[in-house]
A and B are shown apart, each in its own frame.
Chain A
Amino acid sequence: MVSRNARRKPMLEGPPRWRFISVLAVLLLAPVAILLRALDLQVIDSEHLRSEAQARHLHTVEMQAHRGVITDRHGEPLAVSSPVQSAWAHPAKLLGDEAALKAVASALERSAQGLRSYLQARRDREFVYLERHLAPATADRLARLEAPGLHLQQESQRFYPAGKVAAQVVGFTDIDGRGLAGAELAFDEALSGRDGAKRVIRDRHGRTVEGVGLLREPQPGEDVALALDRHIQYIAYRELKRAVASHDAAAASAVVLDATTGEVLAMANQPSFNPHRRSELEAEELRNRAAAWTQEPGSLIKPFTVAAALSSAAIREDRVLETSPGTFQVGDHTVRDIADHGSLDVAGVIKESSNVGAAKIALATEPRALWEGLQAFGFGAPTRSGLAGESSGIFLPAPPRRDVQRATLSYGYGVTATPLQLARAYAALAQGGVIRPASIRALEAPPEGRRILDAELARRLRRMLEGVVAPGGTGTQAAIPGYRVAGKTGTVHKSRPGGYAEDDYIASFVGFVPASDPRLVMAVTIDEPRGEEHYGGQVAAPVFSRVMSEALRILNIPPDGLSPRDAPAVAEEGAS
């Protein structure tokens, strides 16, 4: 024992004891410090660090909702979104590679110098669009370049298969897909849906490594079915264009309504524009004249004047009115007819479109009855069609007090209406005195109507309107072989600031077919026809006839006015 102790002693006396303790202390303190730091990071400061880390690699990415399709009533597309690529760049990165920059510039068909200065001006940004909505070939070329800082992003572009034909009704969107005009604007909320968002992990280069979670599922936009029938729309557009060309007119519009439901089957305008080429767009082309352009209805209002007079029992239908000598003095105003029509009954006033006759009828009617009678047909009120930018026209705010006002109101001056409002008012006559809102959207069931006129009276008025198209009337050119047509012509002097223009006219025709059981109503308005012909019966009525005869064929509506010569033959089975 002693010897062992003796041998050990020198060893214990080697290094001093304090050294051992201090080494031990350092070795023990180090883990304690690490532990404390870990505690600090993990527990005390953890929130801050976690958020920092996530900010560096966790990203929230927008998921674009698909915009709904606009279709016609049969599901034919009128506005469709199709995916396209857009190119964007990280300016500093792309500027760093001269060769890549040149290649990108040539793919985009821009000068390298121009692209460089464009990027230089935006150097401190991280996202700059180079070009949006690329042609597919260009997008492919750019993708193959694999240039640093160049990225392609999928977006969607709106296409309008009907193009010019329905441009004002369908409208268009801006480059980010927000509705700006027409149905695109009116139904923007339903069409756009709701963008979604997802969380992804990205690496240092900004590439998505993996998706972590869905924050909000994108809600695709709804498809919207318009009431339009693309085929009838095309025919209305084609015939309108032809009429404008052959009469050298300034503008024109046409509305076709389904008489039974108030749905807008066609709404065409001239001039029109190409929705894919909006850089050349002019304000005049953009206007949906059929719903936004107000005109004085002129003679088109006469059936409603007569309706107001007859339903308030102010006059009887067989009342004979003296219209000779074709002028009639009311106060200091002279009411004029284009010719001396002699003695006319009420139907004759409509058929010959006599202003004198209409004025006499109006003066025989109690002012309030006249005013309320016209107002019931929707003058001065919106049609509730659902179109953006619709106008309601101007109507007297109170019953007319002066005789001159009553007289001029009776033949459609001092009041304005859109072609759509006129079509709707005639649809009310066609429907036996029930007025319905017009609708630009396809309907499942006809909307609730409001009775404004006795059914029997409406039937008699339809008879009178058939007289307009019959031989001797003002609207004979609206006739369609095989069908009974009812309608009314209108020709007004265009009002200008300071009075009425002597040589500028608005020629119009509104009518419905088949007169025995009306299915279609159409209003045609031609603005400023130049040349020999300027009457509604010469300029607008032929358009009505051509569009309606094709529409009747398309819709398979059987003829109701066959002459005995071509009455239906009875098909016999086995007959050859």
Chain B
Amino acid sequence: MSRLGWLAGGVAAAVTASALALVAVQHEYRATFATMQQELERRDRLRGEWRKLQLEQSALAKHGRVERLAREELGMELPERSEIVILERP
């Protein structure tokens, strides 16, 4: 075969290879993108859960509720000024 023939063959092979590589890269990109989507969804789900927990915690720790529990169920009360002894560190 002539030199020109070899060249044409080589270029054709290169074009085919690059076309296949393009497909492979595209596929890989989509797969990675899908993984990322899943991870983002997981992050959102966890964030949602974290916020729910925050809400739950703050509902349980509501000052009105804590005060009621302390006063009614535990029988606690604020000490009078006369009942407090103030200490000074020597």
Contacts and interface: CB of A to CB of B under 8 A. Distances in A.
B81 A569 contact: no
B51 A81 contact: yes
B18 interface: no
Chain B contact residues: helix, strand, loop or mixed: helix
B81 A210 contact: no
Contact of B63 (A81, A211, A230, A559): A230
A214 to B, nearest CB: 7
B49 to A, nearest CB: 9
Given A210-B34, A211-B34, A82 B51 contact: yes
Contacts of B90: 570-572
Interface string A541-576: 000000000000000001100100011111110000
B11 to A, nearest CB: 21
Interface string B11-47: 0000000000000000000100110110000001001
A562 B84 CA distance: 12
Contact of B62 (A69, A83, A161, A566): A161
Contacts, number: 70
Nearest to B40: A63
Interface residues of A, number: 34
A212 interface: yes
Given A211-B34, A212-B30, A234 B64 contact: yes
Interface string A74-87: 00110011110000
A77 B81 CA distance: 33
Given A66-B47, A82-B48, A230-B63, A77 B54 contact: yes
Interface residues on B, range: 20 to 34
A481 interface: yes
Contacts of B44: 66, 83
Contacts of A562: 86
A326 interface: no
A203 B37 CA distance: 18
Contacts of B2: none
A571 B89 contact: yes
A570 B51 contact: no
B51 A231 contact: no
A230 B64 CA distance: 12
Contacts of A567: 86
A210 B47 contact: no
A77 B61 CA distance: 11
Contact of B59 (A161, A210, A238): A161
Interface string B61-90: 011100000000000000001101111111
B88 A570 contact: yes
Nearest to B52: A82
A81 B86 CA distance: 44
Contacts of A69: 51, 54
Contact of A77 (B47, B55, B85, B86): B55
B63 A234 contact: yes
A79 to B, nearest CB: 10
A486 B45 CA distance: 52
B55 A161 contact: yes
A234 B58 CA distance: 13
Given A82-B48, A159-B55, A481 B88 contact: no
Given A211-B37, A234-B64, A568-B88, A80 B54 contact: yes
A559 B86 contact: yes
A382 interface: no
A399 interface: no
Given A213-B33, A231-B63, A569 B87 contact: yes
A530 to B, nearest CB: 27
A182 to B, nearest CB: 18
Contacts of B86: 558-559, 562, 566-569
Contacts of A348: none
A365 B44 CA distance: 65
Contacts of A76: 58
A486 to B, nearest CB: 19
13 contacts: A69-B54, A77-B54, A80-B51, A82-B48, A82-B51, A83-B51, A211-B30, A211-B33, A212-B33, A231-B63, A569-B86, A570-B88, A572-B90
Enumerate the 8 nearest inter-chain pairs by beta-carbon distance, A residue then B residue, closest first.
A568-B88, A481-B81, A161-B58, A571-B87, A234-B63, A83-B48, A568-B86, A82-B51
Given A159-B55, A165-B63, A571-B90, 9 more contacts: A77-B54, A77-B58, A82-B51, A211-B33, A562-B86, A568-B86, A569-B85, A570-B90, A571-B88
